[in-house]
Copies of this chain bind each other. A is one copy, B any other.
C-alpha cells in the first residue's frame, strides 16, 4: 500500500482537517483485505466514490461527516475535475476550467466558505465589444438594452427570442423537466430549427447564436435539443428564482459575476486535503461489479469492496466503465446519448490589464472565431493582466487541426483587431487548455443532449441502480453544467446514500 499512500499526496494549499470542520482523516477504510486475483490491493469502505471533482468530493465530505468510511477513486493525478488552476506567475494562477460563480449559486459559495475561500467580483467596468461582419459596436451592460448587444439588424429578434426562452423556462418542473407540458414538442427539434421558425432574421441570429452556444455548452445550435436548452436555462436559478437566459450569460447579476480567491480548483484541493488519504489519485475505475452485499469497484491501482458506490463523473465517462451485471437498458442508452461539448480556453498574459484604462471590460462577443467570447481573467489585484477566451464547438473542432502556434497567432490577432490595440499582439505569456483533449473529461463544459434524449431517458440520469448512485453536475436539479450543480449533486447523492445505509 506504500505506493498508494504516496499517490494520495495532494498538490495545492492544504488546510488542516480540523480547521475546516471535518473529523481528522485517519485510515481511509476500516480494514484492508489481501490482494485479489487481479494482484491489485483491495480495501473496504462503506462508500466508494468514483471521481474527485466537486461532485464526488462534496459527496465524500458529507458522507464522512455522517460517520461513513469512504474511499474516493480519481483517475487523474489531481483533484478538481473540470476546474484547474494554471500557474502564471509566482503565487499567481489563472483558471483553465470552470471558474465563475453568481447569484443563486449558493451551494458552491457555501462550500468554498467552509474551506476558507472567499469570492471577488469579476472585472466588469467599461464597455464590451461586439462584432459581426462589418458591424463593430462598443456597448455597456448598464445601457438601455442591457446585456443584449445593440446590433440594429438583430436586436428585435434577440429581445423577443430571449423573452420567449425565458417564458418557456417557467413551464419546466425542475425536478422532472421531461414532464413539462411541451416537452415532447420541444425535444423533437433542435435549437436551430426553433430559431428558423421564430426569428425574423434567422440566418443572422444563428450566426450570433453560435459563439453563445460555443462558449456556454461547447456546441452549435443545430447540435442540441430545444428542450434541453430550455431545461438548461430553467436550471439557472434556485427554488425562489426561476432561471433566465440573461442570468446564464451575464456578468452583472449573472453566472459570471464573481470568482474564487485562489482559483476554483482550490476548493477541491482543500476538501480533498481534509479527506486525506481517503482520496486515491491515478486510479481510473474500470469495472463495478455487484456483490452479495454491495459492490466491488476496480481501479488500476486499488480494488475497493463497498456497500454503495457513487459514480460522480460525466455521463460519457460513466459509459466507459464495465458494469457487472449490465446496467438497465434505459441507463445504458442514455449515457450513449450525452456527448460532451468541445471547449478550449485560451489565455493571454500581459504585465497589466491595460485595456481597463481604455474603458474596456475585456469582454467581446464576435462571430467567425476562433474566440467567440472573451473576458478579463486577471487575478484579484490585476497583476498580471489576463485576457481569456472560449474556443468552442465547431470553432474548436476546426482549430484542433491547427498547431498551437497558429491558434495563438489567430487569437492574438483577433484580440488586437476587436479591441483596436496592437499591444494585445505581444503577451508575456499564453496558454490554452483543450478539455476535449483531456482523457478524463473528453470535452467540456458539460453534456449536449440532442433531440429525443431527455424526454425518453432523462429519469435514468440520477435514478439509483441497486447500490449504484449517480452524481455530477449533469445530474443536478439547479445549475446543470456549473460548479454549483456539481456541489448540489454531491449533496443530494450523499443524502440519498446516507438514507440507504
Q: Which residues of A contact B (CB under 8 A)?
A: 39, 187-190, 192-193, 196, 219-220, 222-223, 286, 316, 319-320, 322, 326, 328-330, 332-333, 336-337, 339-340, 342, 394, 396-397, 400-401, 434, 436-437, 439, 442-443, 450-453, 456-457
- Contact between B333 and A451, CB atoms less than 8 A apart: no
Contacts of A396 in B (CB 8 A): 329
Complex alpha-carbon distance, A397 and B453, angstroms:
12
Centre residue among A188, A316, A456 by max chain B CB count within 10 A: A188
Complex alpha-carbon distance, A190 and B436, angstroms:
26
CB-based nearest B residue for A219? B452
- Contact between B329 and A339, CB atoms less than 8 A apart: no
- Contact between A452 and B190, CB atoms less than 8 A apart: yes
Task: Knowing that A188-B196, A189-B189, A329-B400 touch, tell me 9 more A-B residue pairs with CB under 8 angstroms.
Answer: A188-B192, A189-B222, A190-B190, A192-B451, A219-B452, A220-B456, A222-B452, A326-B437, A450-B452
- Contact between B188 and A188, CB atoms less than 8 A apart: no
Complex alpha-carbon distance, A342 and B436, angstroms:
28
Contacts of A193 in B (CB 8 A): 188-190, 193
Ranked nearest first, the 7 interchain pairs of A and B with the lowest CB-CB distance are: A450-B450, A336-B339, A223-B452, A188-B222, A329-B400, A222-B452, A329-B436
Option from B316, B336, B437, B457 in Cβ contact (under 8 Å) with A397:
B457
CB-based nearest B residue for A188? B222
Asked, given contacts A188-B190, A190-B188, A190-B190, whether A342 binds B320 with beta carbons under 8 Å apart, the answer is no
Contacts of A187 in B (CB 8 A): 222
- Contact between A456 and B328, CB atoms less than 8 A apart: no
Contacts of A452 in B (CB 8 A): 190, 219-220, 222-223, 450
- Contact between A339 and B337, CB atoms less than 8 A apart: yes
- Contact between B190 and A332, CB atoms less than 8 A apart: no
Asked, given contacts A189-B192, A339-B337, whether A223 binds B330 with beta carbons under 8 Å apart, the answer is no
Copies of this chain per assembly:
2
Asked, given contacts A39-B39, A342-B329, A450-B451, whether A336 binds B442 with beta carbons under 8 Å apart, the answer is yes
- Contact between B336 and A340, CB atoms less than 8 A apart: yes
Asked, given contacts A189-B190, A190-B188, A340-B336, whether A456 binds B397 with beta carbons under 8 Å apart, the answer is yes
Contacts of A196 in B (CB 8 A): 188
CB-based nearest B residue for A39? B39
Contacts of A340 in B (CB 8 A): 333, 336
Asked, given contacts A190-B189, A193-B189, A340-B336, whether A330 binds B450 with beta carbons under 8 Å apart, the answer is no
- Contact between A329 and B434, CB atoms less than 8 A apart: yes
CB distance from A204 to the nearest CB of B (A): 16
Complex alpha-carbon distance, A293 and B10, angstroms:
37
Asked, given contacts A336-B443, A340-B336, A452-B220, whether A330 binds B188 with beta carbons under 8 Å apart, the answer is no
- Contact between B451 and A222, CB atoms less than 8 A apart: yes
Asked, given contacts A336-B442, A340-B336, whether A451 binds B397 with beta carbons under 8 Å apart, the answer is no
- Contact between B329 and A333, CB atoms less than 8 A apart: no
CB-based nearest B residue for A320? B320
- Contact between B189 and A329, CB atoms less than 8 A apart: no
CB distance from A401 to the nearest CB of B (A): 8
Contacts of A326 in B (CB 8 A): 437, 439
Complex alpha-carbon distance, A457 and B400, angstroms:
12
Complex alpha-carbon distance, A400 and B189, angstroms:
26
Centre residue among A286, A336, A397, A442 by max chain B CB count within 10 A: A336
Complex alpha-carbon distance, A490 and B222, angstroms:
33
CB distance from A305 to the nearest CB of B (A): 21
Centre residue among A319, A401, A452 by max chain B CB count within 10 A: A452
CB-based nearest B residue for A184? B222
CB-based nearest B residue for A187? B222
- Contact between B333 and A397, CB atoms less than 8 A apart: yes
CB distance from A264 to the nearest CB of B (A): 24
- Contact between B333 and A436, CB atoms less than 8 A apart: yes
Option from B189, B316, B333 in Cβ contact (under 8 Å) with A336:
B316
Option from B192, B332, B397 in Cβ contact (under 8 Å) with A329:
B397
CB distance from A284 to the nearest CB of B (A): 8
